[in-house]
C-alpha cells in the first residue's frame, strides 16, 4: 500500500499539480504502485505533487552517515513525548518516540512499533499485538507489561505525571495483558480517537526504568529517556537546541515509511530553534543550517528559484485556519448577518495580497486532505457585496454611525476576535487588518482583531465576550479538532467551541463520525457535517495550513506523513557526501 511520499532535492521537471489533481493522483498511484520512490519537487510553489515516479534522475544511492542541522521555529518546552503539547514537536519527537500505529492518508491504521491491532464489538474492544523484537534504547524489551505501565501512567491523573489526559483515552475502561506480546483495551464505547491516540507520539512507550527517574528529569525529558525510536536524544536545551544520535538496532517501522531501509541514515541530527523567520532563511542561505522549517511567504522565492535549494510544502491535515462565528449572541445569532460577513469581502483576493500565493484558500471546513474533505464546497461562498448589504438591511442593521459602521438601536455592528498572542503566526494579524478594511468599506461591519495574553484571552472566552474566534487545528484526522471546535454542549469535549453552536443536529453528526471504526460511515458523515456547517454559515474557512520547508539541494529523502501532512521525522533523510 502506497502511503508515504518522498522527495529528493533534484530539480527534475516534475509537473506540479493542483491540489485536487494531487489527491486524485495519490489514489491512482496508491492503487498501482507499491513501494516506488516517488518524487516531486518544490519547483512550482504549488503544494508538491507526489504525482509520478520521476525520480530516476535523482536516484543517486542514499548515503549512510553524516550530520544535519535543521532550523525550526518552535521553542521546544519539554522533550518527554507524553508531556509535550506542541503540535510542531510531532515531526521532531517522533525521531526518538514513534507510536504504536501509523494513521495513513487513506484513513487507515498501519502497524508501526506494534505488530498490528484488531477491533471487535464495533470498536469497543481493541487488541494490540506487539512485535517480538522491539527494545528500548536502554536495552529493556517492549513487552505487554511495559506497554501497560505506559498506558497506566498517561491515563491516570492521580499519578501526578500528566496534566492533560489525551482526549482519546476518555472512554478507556480497562487495559489487560493477555500474553507477553498482547494487550487488550476495553472501551466504554467505540471511539476512533482511541486508535488515533495509539497513532500519536503521546502513546510512544518509554522504558519502565525511565519512569523511575526523578520527576524533574522525567518530565522535561532529555538524554535519560529511553524510547523505541530510530534516534536517541544526545542533548536538549529548552527553547534552543535538541540533538539526536542514531540508534543502530531500530528496525520496527512500516514498510511504507521504511522503503527498504528501516533505520536512520544520519548519525546525528540537530534541531536548532531560530524563532525569527528571516533568521531561518538567512541561516539556510549561508549554509549554517541544512533544512529550515516554516519558510515565510516573502522568503519563498529565495529558495524556489535557486537550483541550490529545494522548497516543499504540504497541506497539513485536520482543520484549516478558519473564522468561527459565535452564534450565541448578537449579531451572529442572525444567520443573515453571518452570511453577510462571509459574502461581504473578497477573501481570495485578500489572501492573495497578504500571502502572494504562498498559502492557498481553504473552502471546506476540513483541510484539503483525503479522505474526508468535501471538495464539492470549492467556491461555495463567492463574494457578493450587494447581497450582503441587502441581508444586513433585512436584519435591521440599517442606520450608520459617523464612521460608516452599520448600527441597530444605536449599537454598532461590531465583531471582535480576541486571540492569544502566542497563536499569532503566518501574518494572521495582517490578514485580519485587511479583512477589517474590506468589511468596513463593503458592508459597514467593524471587525476588530485583538491580540491578548493567554490569561486575558481565557477570561474573555469564559465570559463569552467575543463575536468570532480564529483557529487552525492540525492533526492526522479531523475528529479531534471537530470535537474541540464544534461540540459546545460539553465543555469537556468542545474546549474551544467558541462559536457556541449548541446544536444537537451538529453534535449527532460529530458523535456518529467519532464513535465508529467504519471508514465509509465516517466519510459519509463528515461530508454531511461539512455541508451542514457551511449551510448554516457557522464557519468561514480561510487558508490551508501547511508544512513548508526549504533545504539544500543535497539533502534527500524527506518523507511525508500522509495523514498529518507533516514530515515523518528525519529517519529517511540523507545527505549527499
84/427 with CB nearer another protein: 84
6/83 with CB nearer another protein: 83
E strands in 378-458: 399-400, 406-408, 411-412, 414-420, 446-452
Nearest-approach distance from CB 344 to another protein, in angstroms: 32
CB 145 within 8 A of CB 543: no
Q: Which one, of 451, 525, 491, 466, lies nearest residue 324 by Cα?
A: 466
Q: Which one, of 487, 571, 426, lies nearest residue 93 by Cα?
A: 571
Q: Which one, of 232, 126, 123, lies nearest residue 513 by Cα?
A: 123
| φ/ψ (deg, to 5) at 504 | -70, -35
CA 130 to chain centre: 27
Nearest-approach distance from CB 415 to another protein, in angstroms: 22
278/356 with CB nearer another protein: 278
Nearest-approach distance from CB 164 to another protein, in angstroms: 5
317/481 with CB nearer another protein: 481
CA distance 527 to 529: 5
DSSP string, 523-574: HHHHHHHHHHHHHTT-EEEEE--EEEEEEETTEE-EEE-TTTSSB-TTTT-E
N-terminal to C-terminal alpha carbon distance within the chain: 31
CB 138 within 8 A of CB 209: yes
- Looking up cell 543535497 gives 554
CA distance 566 to 546: 8
Q: Which one, of 433, 443, 409, lies nearest residue 341 by Cα?
A: 443
158/379 with CB nearer another protein: 158
45/418 with CB nearer another protein: 418
200/546 with CB nearer another protein: 200
- Looking up cell 483515552 gives 169
- The string over 365-404, giving b where at least 16 C-beta atoms fall within 10 Å of a residue's C-beta and e elsewhere, is bbbbbbbbbbbebeeeeebbbeebbebbeebebeeeeeee
Nearest-approach distance from CB 49 to another protein, in angstroms: 31
Nearest-approach distance from CB 339 to another protein, in angstroms: 31
47/71 with CB nearer another protein: 71
> Using alpha carbons only, how large is the chain's radius of gyration in Å?
24
Nearest-approach distance from CB 322 to another protein, in angstroms: 19
CB 501 within 8 A of CB 325: no
99/481 with CB nearer another protein: 481
Strand-pair partners of 548:
313
Using CB under 8 A, list all residues that contact another protein.
69, 71, 75, 77-78, 80, 83, 85, 157-158, 160, 163-165, 167, 215-216, 219-220, 237-241, 272-276, 278-279, 282-283, 285-289, 421-422, 453-456, 458-459, 484, 491-492, 495
61/163 with CB nearer another protein: 163
| φ/ψ (deg, to 5) at 33 | -90, 150
294/446 with CB nearer another protein: 294
88, three cell numbers: 510542531
Amino acid at each position: 500500500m502506497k502511503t508515504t511520499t518522498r522527495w529528493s532535492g533534484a530539480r527534475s521537471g516534475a509537473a506540479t499539480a493542483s491540489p485536487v489533481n494531487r489527491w486524485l493522483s495519490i489514489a491512482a498511484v496508491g492503487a498501482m504502485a507499491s513501494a516506488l520512490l516517488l518524487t516531486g519537487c518544490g519547483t512550482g510553489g504549488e503544494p508538491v505533487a507526489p504525482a509520478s515516479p520521476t525520480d530516476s534522475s535523482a536516484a543517486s544511492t542514499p548515503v549512510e552517515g553524516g550530520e544535519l542541522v535543521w532550523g525550526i521555529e518552535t521553542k521546544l518546552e519539554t522533550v518527554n513525548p507524553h508531556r509535550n503539547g506542541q503540535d510542531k514537536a510531532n515531526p521532531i519527537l517522533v525521531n526518538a518516540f514513534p507510536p504504536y500505529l501509523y494513521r495513513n492518508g487513506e484513513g487507515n491504521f498501519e502497524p508501526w512499533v506494534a505488530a498490528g491491532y484488531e477491533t471487535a464489538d464495533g470498536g469497543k474492544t481493541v487488541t494490540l499485538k506487539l512485535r517480538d523484537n522491539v527494545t528500548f534504547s536502554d536495552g529493556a524489551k517492549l513487552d505487554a507489561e511495559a506497554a501497560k505501565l505506559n498506558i497506566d501512567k498517561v491515563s491516570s491523573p492521580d499519578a501526578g505525571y500528566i496534566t492533560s489526559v489525551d482526549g482519546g483515552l476518555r472512554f478507556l475502561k480497562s487495559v489487560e495483558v493477555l500474553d507477553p506480546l498482547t494487550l487488550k483495551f476495553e472501551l466504554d464505547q467505540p471511539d476512533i480517537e482511541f486508535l488515533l491516540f495509539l497513532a500519536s507520539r503521546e502513546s510512544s512507550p518509554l522504558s519502565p526504568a525511565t519512569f523511575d527517574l526523578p520527576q524533574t528529569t522525567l518530565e522535561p525529558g532529555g538524554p535519560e529517556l529511553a524510547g523505541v525510536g530510530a534516534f536517541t536524544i544526545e542533548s536538549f536545551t529548552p527553547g534552543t537546541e535538541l540533538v539526536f544520535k542514531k540508534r543502530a538496532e531500530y528496525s520496527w517501522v512500516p514498510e511504507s515509511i521504511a522503503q527498504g531501509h528501516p533505520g536512520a541514515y544520519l548519525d546525528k541530527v540537530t534541531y536548532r530553534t531560530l524563532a525569527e523567520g528571516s533568521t531561518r532563511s538567512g541561516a539556510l542561505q549561508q549554509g549554517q543550517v541544512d533544512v529550515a522549517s516554516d519558510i515565510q511567504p516573502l522568503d519563498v522565492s529565495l529558495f524556489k528559484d535557486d537550483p541550490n535549494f529545494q522548497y516543499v510544502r504540504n497541506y497539513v491535515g485536520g482543520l484549516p485556519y478558519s473564522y468561527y462565528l459565535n452564534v450565541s449572541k448578537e449579531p451572529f445569532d442572525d444567520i443573515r448577518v453571518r452570511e453577510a460577513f462571509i459574502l461581504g469581502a473578497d477573501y481570495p483576493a485578500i489572501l492573495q495580497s497578504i500571502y502572494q500565493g504562498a498559502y492557498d484558500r481553504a473552502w471546506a471546513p476540513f483541510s484539503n486532505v483525503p479522505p474526508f474533505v468535501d471538495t464539492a464546497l470549492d467556491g461555495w461562498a463567492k463574494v457578493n457585496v450587494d447581497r450582503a448589504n441587502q441581508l444586513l438591511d433585512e436584519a435591521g442593521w440599517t442606520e450608520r454611525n459617523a464612521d460608516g459602521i452599520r448600527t441597530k438601536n444605536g449599537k454598532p455592528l461590531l465583531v471582535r476576535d480576541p486571540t492569544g498572542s502566542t497563536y499569532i503566526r503566518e501574518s494572521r494579524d495582517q490578514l485580519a487588518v485587511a479583512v477589517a478594511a474590506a468589511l468596513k468599506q463593503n458592508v459597514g461591519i467593524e471587525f476588530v482583531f485583538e491580540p491578548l495574553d493567554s490569561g486575558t484571552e481565557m477570561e474573555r472566552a469564559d465570559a463569552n465576550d467575543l463575536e468570532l474566534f480564529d483557529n487552525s487545528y492540525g492533526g492526522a484526522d479531523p475528529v479531534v479538532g471537530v470535537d474541540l471546535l464544534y461540540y459546545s454542549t460539553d465543555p469537556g469535549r468542545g474546549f474551544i467551541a467558541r462559536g457556541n453552536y449548541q446544536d444537537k443536529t451538529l453534535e449527532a453528526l460529530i458523535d456518529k463520525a467519532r464513535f465508529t471504526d467504519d471508514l465509509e460511515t465516517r466519510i459519509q458523515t463528515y461530508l454531511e457535517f461539512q455541508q451542514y456547517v457551511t449551510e448554516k454559515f457557522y464557519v468561514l474557512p480561510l487558508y490551508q495550513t501547511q508544512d513548508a520547508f526549504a533545504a539544500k539541494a543535497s539533502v534527500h529523502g524527506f518523507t511525508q506523513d500522509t495523514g498529518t501532512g507533516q514530515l515523518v521525522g528525519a529517519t529517511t533523510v540523507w545527505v549527499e557526501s
